[in-house]
Amino acid sequence: MQLGRKTLTAVVTGTLGVTLLAGAAATSWAAPAKTPAPAAAHPGARGVPDPTTATLRQLARHTKLEIGTAIDTAALRNDATYREIAAREFSSVTPENVMKWYATEPQRGQFDFTEAEQLMAFAAANRQKVRGHVLVWHSQLPAWLTEGTWTRAELRSILRQHILTVAGHFRGRIWAWDVVNEAFNDDGTLRDTIWLRTIGPSYIADAFRWAHQADPKAILFYNDYNVEGINAKSNAVYALLRQLKREGVPVEGFGAQGHLATQYGFPRDVLENLRRFGRLGLATAITEADVRIVLPVDNAERWAQAAGYSLMLESCLLERSCISYTVWGFTDRYQWVPGVFPEEGEAAIYDVNYNPKPARDAMARDLALAPHSGRRG
C-alpha cells in the first residue's frame, strides 16, 4: 500500500519514467531467476489483474473508486458493441440526457421516465451504480417552463414538485444525484438563470432539501465545470458549500465535471482542490471527464489527451473523498464535443471504431498503480 501511494504520488508530480523503471527493476530482482512467469494473467505482486488485458472496472476494484461513463440511450438501444463495452468497462453509469428536465417533465405535471428506465435496467443487469443527472440546471429545460411567466411562488412550487417527483420516482435506486448543476459563472458570481432571477439564491439550498426529502440515501452533489483546479469559480463553490454545510443543508458531494482541452493545458492543483472539498466532509468526484483536441488530431495530441485524463484520475485516486471518476461518453462515435465546439473533437477514450486510445491505457495504468485504499464508500 505504501509503495502504491508513493508510486502514484511520483506519477502525479511528473517523474513517471523514473517511477516505472524503479518499479520494473524491483519486480525483476525479486522474481526467481529460472522460472519465468506464465503468460496467463495472474494477480501479480500488486494484487491487481494484468492491466494490459483487464477491464477498467476490474482494475478499479481494489481502489474502491467507481469508474463510470455517461450513457447515450439511443446508442444503448441500437449498437451492440456500445452495449458490450459499456457493460464491460464501467462500474457506474450516468444518463447523458434522459434524466434532464426536458425529458422527464416535457409538459407541466406530466412525467416520462421511459428512457431513463432503460438506463436503469441496463445498470441493474450489469451491477452498475447510477449517478442521477440532473435535477436543477438552466439548460435543456422544456419550452413550457422557459417560455412561461412565473411568480416566485409559482416557480418555487414547480421546482419543488419536479425534484420531489423525479428523485422520488427513483428513490433508493440512485447512488448519487447531481442536484444543482452549473450555478456559477467563471468569475465566481452566481449565474443569471431562470432560477436565480425568479426565486433568488435560496433555490440552491431548497433544491438539496427537497432532494434529500425525496431520496434520503442518495449522495447529493453540487456539480460544475472549470472547477477542477483552484480558481475564482471553485473558490466561490467552496464558500457556498461550506456555508450550506454550516446551515445543515444536506449537500454531500462536490463534482468537478472535468471537461478539459489540450489547447488550454491542464490545471496542476486538482488534487489540492479535491482535498479542500473533502475536508469539508464532502464526497468528491470527477463527473464528466473528457479531453477535447483541436482537429485534425495527431499522436502528440493523443498523448496530451491521455495526460489530461490521467491527471484527473490520479488526483482522484490520491484523495480518499473522491468516490467516482466518470467519462462523458467513452467513444468518439457518440460524443457531444463536435456539436458544441466546432473546431474540436475526438475527446473520448475510444475512437469512432471502438479502438482504445492512449487515454484508455493511461487510465488502466493509473488504476493498476493505485494503492489499495481506505476510500470512503
The 125-164 site mask, x for binding ligand XIL (CB under 6 A), equals ----------------------------------------
Instruction: Please identify which of the residues 66, 89, 105, 182 carries the catalytic annotation.
Output: 182
Question: In a 3-state reduction of DSSP, which class is residue 185?
Answer: coil
HSE-up (13 A, CA, CB side) for residue 46: 28
- Look up 182 and say whether it is catalytic: yes
Q: Does 290 bind ligand XIL (CB under 6 A)?
A: no
Residue with the shortest CB distance to ligand XIL: 336
DSSP string, 237-263: HHHHHHHHHHTT----EEEE--EEEGG
Q: Does 19 bind ligand XIL (CB under 6 A)?
A: no
Q: Does 94 bind ligand XIL (CB under 6 A)?
A: no
Q: Which 248-277 residues touch ligand XIL, going by CB under 6 A?
A: 257
Alpha helices in 319-357 (DSSP H): 337-340
Instruction: Please identify which of the residues 288, 314, 319, 346 carries the catalytic annotation.
Output: 288
DSSP string, 28-91: HHHS-SS-PPPSS---TTTTS--TTTS-HHHHHGGGT-EEEEEE-HHHHHH-HHHHHHHHHH-S
Q: Which 180-199 residues touch ligand XIL, going by CB under 6 A?
A: 181
Q: Does 96 bind ligand XIL (CB under 6 A)?
A: yes
Measured from the CB of residue 70, what is the shortest distance to ligand XIL in angstroms? 6
CA separation for the pair 154, 281 (Å, rounded): 34
- Look up 288 and say whether it is catalytic: yes
Alpha helices in 63-191 (DSSP H): 73-78, 80-89, 101-104, 114-125, 143-146, 152-169
Cβ-based nearer residue to ligand XIL, 100 or 375: 100
Residue type, 55: T
Looking up cell 464535443, which residue turns up? 337
Among 97, 262, 310, 373, indicate the residue that binds ligand XIL (CB under 6 A): 97
Cβ-based nearer residue to ligand XIL, 336 or 350: 336
- Nearest alpha-carbon partner for 179 in 213, 227, 129, 230: 213
Cβ-based nearer residue to ligand XIL, 50 or 344: 344
Contact footprint for ligand XIL (CB under 6 A) = 96-97, 181, 257, 288, 336
Q: Which residues are catalytic?
A: 182, 288
